[in-house]
Structure 1
Amino acid sequence: MKRPWKGQVEKPAEDNILRHDPTNPLCPGNQRANGEVNPEYDSTFLFDNDFPALQPDAPDPGPRDHPLFQTKAARGVCKVMCFHPWSDITLPLMELGEIQRVIDKWAELIEELGTTYPWVQIFENKGAMMGCSNPHPHCQVWASSFLPNEPDLADHFQREYLKEHGEVMLLQYAKMEAERRGSWAITQSVTHQKPVEVQNKEWFYVGSGLSRFLSCLVMFLMSFYQERVVVENDDWLVVVPYWATWPFQTLLLPLRHVLRLSDLTAKEREGLASIMKRLLTKYDNLFETSFPYSMGWHGAPTGPFLQQDMKHWQLHAHYYPPLLRSATVRKFMVGYEMLALEQRDLTPEQAAQRLRNLPEEHYKARTNTGKGETTGEK
């Protein structure tokens, strides 16, 4: 992070997006590539992807001529889901009720497509930096006839962990991070002296007698209990995971044992909407830009797995943002990281602290309030 940057600089995110662009195929009332016209939707809108990567009737490949070359038909369906009728809004600027309707639709799709397909992948690519070609707020849903590599590995390791330790791995991880958060709070409450900043940028406490002793104890404990929690509520926890490799990567976990999005209670869905808005607002506030990322949900496999014991699974979402130093400087996974081992530009604890310390009011709301204007929020 201390090296001077002389590498690629990205374009800043566009800030002058039309609310309704008559040429945008995702806007209400507009024509899409296949000739269909979108309804005048006022909430979420789901449709079959006009350029699907998976098709339900994909033909079987021909016979293989060598065991090195293994092929199978990849069948499935691909859908696109618009979050909102406006193109100039993103999830952190939407109202909680609007975000909850997105969550409800996600849960509905897991249930509906999961009756047929073993894996339903919900994912959002946000921003041109992540390959998103359309700024209109939307995600994709791919349901496949097979279990892809990442969830297959997740299934294996979670199953093995439960077998060996008798605990649901990610549920135990969430509880340990929450406990670490509690221990951190205890260390900070040991003394009520005000912190002062010294030259090495570490925070120390001043006082006399017992207070000085307690201050030293606080600093000692802080070395063991540096937390990775970014935001939390009664039902959810967001952490920069211990194994994070992207600079501001986060993991979103329920605090109850939950297998799939469709298993969430009404209260948990409400809490999820709230914590997503808080996290994504912090992301945008970090560099005061519409923060790019790829995110996606992982839950217990569906289809034939619905009849199997999947209690080793814990629902979770991954957020992978590329930005590193500013709104225009991203991390590249190349060279040694691609060929040998990923390296961290900052520790998970440092990343969590930077995100945690950011305000939960969106920077656009703060800017526009001073101008007497409104944000994208309704």
Structure 2
Amino acid sequence: MTSISSTTLSDGRELIYFDDAGFPKSRAKGLTTDRRGLPPRGEPGEVRYDALTDEWVAVAAHRQTRTHLPPADQCPICPTTAGNFSEIPAPDYDVVVFENRFPSLGPALGAVAANPAWGTKWPAFGRCEVVAFTPSHTGSFSELSEARSRTVIEAWAQRTEALSALPGIKQVFPFENRGADIGVTLHHPHGQIYAYPYVSPRAGVLGAAARRFYDARDGRETLTGSLLRSEREDGNRMVLEGENFSAYVPFAARWPLEIHLVPHRQVPDLAALNGEEKDELASVYLDLLKRMDALYPTPTPYISAWHQAPLDDLLRPAGYLHLQLTSPRRAADKLKYLAGSEAAMGAFINDTTPESVAERLRSVAVPASATPPAVLAATPEGARA
């Protein structure tokens, strides 16, 4: 069982150690004190209301001074050494979550204006956290052990539950940006969690569609559950199927590489998964990342986005946890750029077919160290009618 220990950094930010099951690393070595003497935290930035789109936009000018591509010996999320007093004061750790020193949202908490209009600006309430997957400065999530993957999942689940209980929070979003082409400014393997004081635009669109479908069926079926069933019955875009999770390239994929990983049971978020589901997720998720990395000679940049049900009385009943794993890489030496149609109109044009991408992901040679976590989906010839 994952053990959890917490401490406070010198500027008052919370830091939490999550230790691999059976290996209480941070407790054994002690929670050392942050000796940097950081200045007190500043006030939050602001969110401004965009009346044209009915959306909130965060304005965080203070982030211009955030850490940008530091040398390896000055990495802020490596363990602390005599020459590098980092964000993590312990000399070793397994997984660590801490409040971002340069947050887009927070540290103050509260609700945004209920009836905004043009000219409305509000404190950028919320919380932004960093999740360090490993003390090793190099590598990626796909190179973690299954035990470490399970610890990260436990951290995501615990933080989802804790952040969801904070005042004013409407949505909790764990994610990972991997690769310079995505815009990563720290190479150390890590992810982030945003706790928004509003329902984000994308979650609002997905939530509204899910609620319409749910209401039309009197709560008997969810939209995501229906799509999962349809993809499994068709079979052409399936990547793998397990006891508790299945992965597929969606019928109308927007990105050159896009995989949806969906639990077979409707749950609103990672915190609602049971132990057996988390165990399988730890291996299935690693398998998907290894498949994506095995497509080309060099590591593939990606965004790993966990879509969790918003904390909204209208949207949450129809909500259904799922992962959207995407990459703009359309060939070994080509990226898909969001130009006029996508960036201005939100109208995506995909350069690949979902069926061909699924076939490649099914057939790619996963590194021998990976234990197949699930039965590979049928090939198109063996797809179910």
Q: TM-score, normalised by structure 1?
A: 0.72
Q: Secondary structure at 2:316's aligned position in 1?
A: coil
CA apart distance, 1:313: 1.0
Aligned: 1:75 with 2:129: no
- Residue 108 of structure 1 pairs with residue 158 of structure 2: yes
Out of 178, 184, 187, the residue aligned to residue 232 of structure 2 is: 178
Distance 1:31 1:106, change over 3 A: farther
- Show the counterpart of 2:339: 334
Separation in structure 2 between the aligned mates of residue 262 and residue 31 of structure 1, nearest angstrom: 37
Q: Could you list the per-position Cα deviations for residues 266-298 of structure 1 after superposition, in whole angstroms to 9, with x for gaps in the alignment?
A: 111111111111111011100022221112111
Deviation at 1:58, TM superposition (A): 7.9
d(CA) in 2 for partners of 1:102, 1:359: 25
Matched, 1:325 2:331: yes
In structure 2, distance between residues paired with 1:31 and 1:140: 27
- What's 1:123 paired with? 175
2:93 and 2:117 mapped to 1: Cα distance? Answer: 53
Question: CA 1:36 to 1:279, structure 2 compared with 1: closer, same or farther past 3 Å?
Answer: closer
Match of 1:369 in 2: none
Aligned to 2:266: 257
Q: 1:148 to 1:33 in 2, by over 3 A?
A: farther
Match of 1:90 in 2: 140
Per the TM alignment, residue 57 of structure 1 is displaced from its structure 2 partner at its CA by 3.0
Hey, what does 1:28 align to over in structure 2?
A: 79
Specify the alignment match of 1:218 in structure 2. none
Distance 1:344 1:333 in 2: 11
Instruction: Tell me which of the two structures has the higher relative contact order, counting C-alpha pairs closer than 8 angstroms and 6 or more residues apart.
Output: 1
* Aligned counterpart in structure 2 of residue 144 of structure 1, from 176, 191, 196: 196
User: Which whole-Å CA distance do the structure 1 matches of 2:82 and 2:209 have between them?
Assistant: 45
1:52 and 1:33 map into 2 onto residues whose CA distance is 22
Report deviation, 1:312. Answer: 0.9
Secondary structure of the residue aligned to 1:311 is helix
Distance 1:67 1:111 in 2: 32
Q: 2:322 aligns with which of 304, 316, 319?
A: 316
Corresponding position of 2:355: 349
> Is the 8 Å Cα contact of residues 22 and 30 (structure 1) preserved in structure 2?
no
Question: Could you list the runs of 5+ residues in structure 2 that have no partner in the other structure?
Answer: 1-70, 372-385
- Structure 1: distance between partners of 2:163 and 2:111: 22
> Which secondary structure state, in structure 1, belongs to the residue aligned with residue 320 of structure 2?
coil
CA contact (8 A) 1:127 1:293 kept: yes
Deviation at 1:363, TM superposition (A): 9.7
- Within 5 Å, give how 1:214-253 maps onto structure 2: 227-253=236-262
CA RMSD of aligned residues (A): 2.9
Counterpart secondary structure, 1:46: strand
Say whether the 8 Å CA contact 1:284–1:362 is kept in structure 2: no
CA contact (8 A) 1:31 1:37 kept: no
Identify the structure with the greater strand proportion.
2
Aligned equivalent of 1:48, options 99, 104, 111: 99
Of 334-343 and 248-257, deviating more is 334-343
| 3-state SS, counterpart of residue 139 of structure 1 | strand
Question: Where do residues 188-203 of structure 1 align in structure 2 (5 Å cutoff)?
Answer: none
Aligned with 1:56: secondary structure?
A: coil
- Partner residue in 2 for 1:293: 302
Residue 40 to residue 73, structure 1, CA distance change in 2 (3 Å): same
Structure of larger gyration radius:
1
TM-score normalised over the length of structure 2: 0.70
The answer to whether the Cα contact below 8 Å between 2:291 and 2:366 also exists between their aligned partners in 1 is yes
Q: 1:308: Cα distance to partner?
A: 7.0
CA distance in 2, matches of 1:309, 1:38: 40
Structure 2 CA distance for partners of 1:37 and 1:169, relative to 1, 3 Å: closer
Go from structure 1 to structure 2 and tell me whether the alpha carbon gap of 1:170 and 1:60 turns closer, same or farther (over 3 Å shift): closer
CA contact (8 A) 1:294 1:319 kept: yes
Separation in 2, partners of 1:58, 1:32: 35
- Contact 1:296–1:317 (8 Å) recurs in 2: yes
**How big is the shift at 1:364?**
11
Paired residues in the alignment total 295
Percent identical residues: 27
Closer, same or farther in 2 for the Cα pair 1:31/1:142, shift >3 Å?
A: farther
The reply to whether residue 164 of structure 1 matches residue 164 of structure 2 is no
**Structure 1 residue 310, shift from structure 2 partner:** 2.8
Q: Give the number of the structure whose residues are more often helix, by fraction.
A: 1
